[in-house]
Structure 1
């Protein structure tokens, strides 16, 4: 018999919190990727790309498991396999790293974006379903094939859009807007994948289920590390002026050029020619 399944056990709290974490990871990942493309030593570039991958991966993974806090199957308890749960985090970071490093080093050509987007999207979907495989229920989980395929397509589209935004959107406010859209896409992929799930109650010999409190405590413990990583990444971003300012602010006319006495606005501050070396005449 099919159990009644809900993804909103705590109402709007879990989807809103999941969406915000997806937005945070997307925003940090976009800004770090932008920073990596402003030149500098290769090692520093790779450092920014690595930070972008960790931010995006942790943001997506944290979004998934915050959303899973709201998952309940009436008549079936839920437990999680720790190793598979951690494996899903590794997959999220690794596949995101593949995508951002491909774009960061090979450019933003259509073929590169398409290849990187497909690899990254399939990896995000793999992270989601590995996380689902880590879940143990007193029953059998089944998936609707069409809905699963739709969730994978959304993941690929979201990943491609994220990579495109990372190499195209340079302005700070535009990046923030892109991260809000990315949050919708990533969270939408998760809930589309969850719509494919049905649970058929009945003991299957799986590990004993946790109580709701134990399940919540486990998930909170799991997401603590990635959340700390996101806080560290946010701190690095906030203290790097080149990351906070977009290209438009950095290259705004009348800033450094005016100070050097060059540029179109330099004449406003330069002394008039007739005033240079002109002796002062005194009235008698």
Structure 2
């Protein structure tokens, strides 16, 4: 028997919240990558690692905020904590591979393409690994064509994010890129959810209801898991916002602060010859000069 699937159990609340988190993670992560690419004095591994962790946390948090609204009519839903945590590790790891590849190999077309494909496949793997953490009295089935479309969206979003990190230096440009990235990530998620179908295993089993699941709802299960990544995003935001180079806005980060060149000592000026009518000539000299001119 097929179950009735609803991905918007709380209306537009979960889609809007997941989109905002995706934008936040993308904006902060891209800013870290830009900081490492366009400033030679920055500690590249640290900024790239922070960027990868921030983008990965943003993607993972977006996914599970959206999953709070996931419902299957008539049955309870729970989540495997180990698979949920593993999906977070996968998200950070695959984004890290793409970010470090671009950071160290440069923003060439080949590097961006390879890193974008790998990262996009990793984002899709995070999504479907997170879906495998869903526990319910039934089996989840997927439409192959819709799954393929969601993977293509993930690859496109990852490639666009890495390209934006390598191309845009200004804050407003990166902000626009992060807004588009948020649309792509949430679009990928809901495209993947559109491929979901649930085949129920007959009548709901009483042991399934009264066992370890109790009366927990998806919100009560997922919200505690989301606290850590959300706090991390807030702390990453504090680090990025208080970085002095962020306030440069559209300034060129590839240039370090100009060094002061030692000013060469100017050669001493020779005293100018006194003209006949110089105001700076002593009075007695001027008077004698006038008398001489009259005598002539």
Common fold, TM-score beyond 0.5? yes
Q: 2:78·2:221 contact (CA, 8 Å) conserved in 1? A: no
Q: 1:99·1:119 contact (CA, 8 Å) conserved in 2? A: yes
String of CA shifts for 1:169-211, please: whole Å, max 9, x gaps: 1010000000000000000000000000011222598983546
- For residues 86 and 6 of structure 2, the distance between their equivalents in structure 1, rounded to whole angstroms, comes to 25
Shift of 1:92: 0.3
State whether structure 2 residue 229 is matched by structure 1 residue 226: yes
1:1-284 matches, within 5 Å, as: 1-37=1-37, 38-40=39-41, 44-202=43-201, 208=208, 210=213, 213-248=216-251
Task: Classify 1:135/1:251 alpha carbon distance in 2 versus 1 (closer, same or farther; 3 Å).
Answer: closer
- For residues 247 and 77 of structure 2, the distance between their equivalents in structure 1, rounded to whole angstroms, comes to 42
String of CA shifts for 1:207-258, please: whole Å, max 9, x gaps: 8354675421220011111111101110001110213423526699xxx77x
TM-score (norm 1): 0.85
TM-score (norm 2): 0.82
- For residues 211 and 161 of structure 1, the distance between their equivalents in structure 2, rounded to whole angstroms, comes to 43
- For residues 79 and 253 of structure 2, the distance between their equivalents in structure 1, rounded to whole angstroms, comes to 48
- For residues 64 and 175 of structure 2, the distance between their equivalents in structure 1, rounded to whole angstroms, comes to 23
Q: 1:79·1:208 contact (CA, 8 Å) conserved in 2? A: no
Shift of 1:40: 2.3
Aligned length: 263
String of CA shifts for 1:51-108, please: whole Å, max 9, x gaps: 0000000000000000000000102211111100000000000000000000000001
CA RMSD of aligned residues (A): 2.7
Task: Classify 1:250/1:89 alpha carbon distance in 2 versus 1 (closer, same or farther; 3 Å).
Answer: closer
Task: Classify 1:93/1:205 alpha carbon distance in 2 versus 1 (closer, same or farther; 3 Å).
Answer: farther
Q: 1:53·1:93 contact (CA, 8 Å) conserved in 2? A: yes
1:271 is matched with: none
- For residues 217 and 9 of structure 2, the distance between their equivalents in structure 1, rounded to whole angstroms, comes to 15
Uncovered stretches (5+) of structure 2, i.e. residues with no partner: 262-270, 273-278, 284-296
1:142 aligned counterpart, secondary structure = strand
Q: 1:75·1:201 contact (CA, 8 Å) conserved in 2? A: no
Task: Classify 1:237/1:148 alpha carbon distance in 2 versus 1 (closer, same or farther; 3 Å).
Answer: same
Uncovered stretches (5+) of structure 1, i.e. residues with no partner: 262-276
- For residues 58 and 11 of structure 1, the distance between their equivalents in structure 2, rounded to whole angstroms, comes to 24
